[in-house]
Each structure stands twice: as structure tokens, then as C-alpha cells.
Amino acid sequence: MCAEELDFIEKYDLLGCIQCGRCTGGCPVATRTPLRVRGFMYDGLNEERLEELSEKPEIWDCTTCFTCAARCPKGLEPLEVLIGLRSLLIEEGKVQPTVRDALESIFKDGNPWGSPRSKRMDWAADLDVKILEPEDEEKTDVMLYICCTDAYDPRVMKVAQALVKVLKAANVDFGLIGEEESCCGSEVRRLGEEGLFEMCDEENVEMMNSYNVGSIVAISPHCYNTLKKEYHGLKHPVLHYTELVAQLLEDGKLTLNTEMKKLITYHDPCFLGKQNDIYDEPRYILTRIPGAEYKDFDRCRERSLCCEGGGGKMWVETESKEERLAEIRVDDAKEMGAEVIAVACPFCLLTLEDATKVKGVDEEMRVADILELLAEAL
């Protein structure tokens, strides 16, 4: 245990922290939860306190949005300390039942939603889509990597269906993995289950490398980030769908003909913006929709507010009674007169749509993925 704790200090470079407080100062959930990440950077130096720190409920408030890391003048990643503390609990098996069930479901069935693998392709049942074969001699341009949430969640499923519609309209040569597709493990890692993440990494890389494709296009920024930056040995380039679609529009391969006379704003997903600097493509796409007026949130791009859907938060309820960040986001959108909040992430879609219902504005304000808007604008 001792060696492991010494590791903790080195692993997160805690001695490099100058306690400037920029991390806590920028932390979006610090406004509504007791989480003060700077304190953990300091307290984590005391190896005897790690167990006590891991039992503080606020370590589960972190959405791993990356703001603290982006703001750190020393280039540290304070959020990783919280993930490290979570992993201490995971080793002991002391996690909330919802987290336990999600992780067990990934281990058994390759998705966190407690659904059998045999239902993974239900979302595409009525679509005529190519299922890729491993070691196929003929190369397919694009392999779609469908997030578990897109595959199983009845609301988010529509986004995956829209992606298929859009790519077909642009005559893209693409295929799906099918029932063999498994969770990318992004949330697994952030819930602190390092071992299971390594399994996701190894098994998915081996599986994906066995296909003859030009690139992998991920539908969720969380999958995208993990495939691109956290996997080891993946040989195919990885794109987010906004990158592919923006290119298709620019090349004139995709044309939008149906008007949408709405004021649209766009919510930057943390894992696409802050963590991967993809800000322009989504805006490029939205401004190509005929008839649509586009307006940015006041807090946008690098300063965009987190929706609180990532970092395993789909399975951990925050105790705070303060207004959710997604609700603040909806208020902001309402104030600027937006009729549509466009998103490019399944978690943002769920949290923001939920917030419009809580705020009672779901009649007048729509939350939709960029892909859904595109499919309608074809």
C-alpha cells in the first residue's frame, strides 16, 4: 500500500502544485457542490489521508470537464487526482449500486446500460446499413463507432439514425461494427476503474485494428477523445463526426435544401471543445443550415459551461439542491431567444433536454443534436 501511495504523489505530480487556486476558481461544479479541487491537490500529499479523502462524497461531483487542467499554470491535471481517489474505492468495491451495475454491465455485455449485446443493433433495425467484416479485403472509407448511449437510449438512438441518413445522403462509404461493438471505456476510466479501462483499450484496439477501414468516426466526443488520445496502438485515424460532416459540406458532397427558420445556439461539449479544440466545425455546419440564424452563448468555446453529463455522472447523482448547470444553460439560451440548443454529444443532449423539462420550456425550446438538425435540413 505504501508504495502505491508514494506513486500517488508522483503519478499526479502533486509536488508541482503551487496552490494558486486557478483550478477551483474555474471549476464549474464548485458553484453548486462542496468540491474544491485545490484542497485535494494539497491534502493528497499526505499519504495517510488518502483513504479519508476517497470517502469524501464530493470526489464524485467532478464531471472531468478538464477546465481545471486547462487553467493550471503548471500543466497539472487536478481532475486526475479525483479519478485516482475514486479508483481507491473501486478497488475496495465500495461504489454506489448504480456505478457497480454500469461497470458490471460493461464487463459482461460491453455497455453500461444493463442491456444484452444482442440488442445493440436494435437502433439500426430498419436501416439498410453495411455491417463490416474483419479482415475484409475491400477497404471501407469510414467505420462508424456508435456510443453505447446512442445504441441503447431510445432518445439518443435518433441521433445515430440521423448520422446514417446524413452519410447516405452524402454517398459516404461507411459501415458499422455491429453487435461486436463494445463500450469505449471513457466513463469507465473516469469512474476510477483502471483495470476495466485497460481491458476496453486492449480488446477494442485489437478488434478495430482487424478491420480494413480508412478512418473511424465517433459519434460521441467521449468515445472520440478516448479512441484518439487514450488508446494504445490503434492504427486507424479517429475523427469526430462534426469533422467529417464539415468536410462533406465544404466539398459540396452534402447539400442542405430544407429551410429551418430558427434561432439556433450551440453548446460546446467539454470533450470536443476544451479537450480537443474542435470549436469551428460544429459552428460551420450549423451556419450552413438554410434559413437558420446562429448565435453563440455568451459563455462559449473555451469558456463553455459543462452540462454535468460526463465523468461518470450519468450514474452518480449529486446531492446538491442548487440549480443544475444544464438548467443555467437553458436559462441563458432562453434569455438570448434561442429556439434550438444544438449539441454534439449524447450526454449533453440528455442533460440539457432534461433541463428544458425541469424549466418547463420544453414546448418552446428544442434540444437537438447537430445531426438531427442536418437530417431535417437535407
Residue closer to other proteins, measured from CB, 57 or 116? 116
Of the candidates 6, 12, 2, the residue with the CA atom closest to the CA atom of residue 82: 12
* By the rule CB under 8 A, 98 interacts with other proteins: yes
Subset of residues 318 to 357 that bind other proteins, contact rule: CB under 8 A: 357
Residue closer to other proteins, measured from CB, 76 or 191? 191
Residue closer to other proteins, measured from CB, 317 or 335? 317
Can you give the three-state secondary structure of 206-229, one letter per residue?
HHHHCCCEEEEEECCHHHHHHHHH
Cβ count within 10 A of residue 174:
23
Identify the bridge partners of residue 156 per DSSP, sorted by sequence position: none
* By the rule CB under 8 A, 29 interacts with other proteins: no
- For residue 116, the minimal CB distance to other proteins (Å) is 5
- For residue 229, the minimal CB distance to other proteins (Å) is 21
Of the candidates 117, 144, 27, the residue with the CA atom closest to the CA atom of residue 78: 27
Q: Are 196 and 107 a contacting pair, CB within 8 Å? A: yes
Residue closer to other proteins, measured from CB, 107 or 294? 107
Subset of residues 38 to 67 that bind other proteins, contact rule: CB under 8 A: none
Per residue in 199-238, is it b (16+ CB within 10 Å) or e — as a string? Answer: bbbeebbeebeebbbeebbbbbbbbbbbbbeebeebebeb
* By the rule CB under 8 A, 195 interacts with other proteins: yes
Backbone CA torsion sign across 169, 173, 179, 185:
negative
Total binding residues toward other proteins, as defined by CB under 8 A: 33
Number of helices (H), then strands (E), belonging to the chain: the values are: 17, 8
Cβ count within 10 A of residue 51:
14
DSSP, res 173: -
Residue positions counted in the chain: 378
Residue closer to other proteins, measured from CB, 23 or 355? 355
Residue closer to other proteins, measured from CB, 116 or 233? 116
Subset of residues 155 to 194 that bind other proteins, contact rule: CB under 8 A: 155, 193-194
Residue 86 CA to residue 94 CA, distance in Å, equals 10
* By the rule CB under 8 A, 361 interacts with other proteins: no
Subset of residues 199 to 258 that bind other proteins, contact rule: CB under 8 A: 199
In the chain, which residue ranges form alpha helices assigned H by DSSP? Answer: 2-11, 22-26, 37-43, 50-54, 67-71, 78-92, 97-109, 148-152, 157-169, 186-190, 194-209, 221-225, 241-250, 280-286, 325-335, 346-358, 370-377
The stretch among 72-80, 116-124, 141-149, 243-251 that binds other proteins (CB under 8 A) is: 116-124
- For residue 39, the minimal CB distance to other proteins (Å) is 26
Place of cell 486507424: 236
Q: Are 361 and 319 a contacting pair, CB within 8 Å? A: no
Q: Tell me the per-residue interface mask from 121 to 160 with other proteins, x by CB under 8 A, - otherwise.
A: ---------------------------------xx-----
The stretch among 89-97, 170-178, 215-223, 270-278 that binds other proteins (CB under 8 A) is: 89-97
Residue closer to other proteins, measured from CB, 101 or 141? 101
- For residue 195, the minimal CB distance to other proteins (Å) is 3
- For residue 341, the minimal CB distance to other proteins (Å) is 19
Subset of residues 257 to 316 that bind other proteins, contact rule: CB under 8 A: 315
Cβ count within 10 A of residue 320:
15
Select from 65, 103, 370, 377 the one that contacts other proteins (CB under 8 A): 103
List contacts with other proteins (CB under 8 A). Answer: 90-95, 97-100, 103-104, 107-109, 113-119, 154-155, 193-196, 198-199, 315, 317, 357
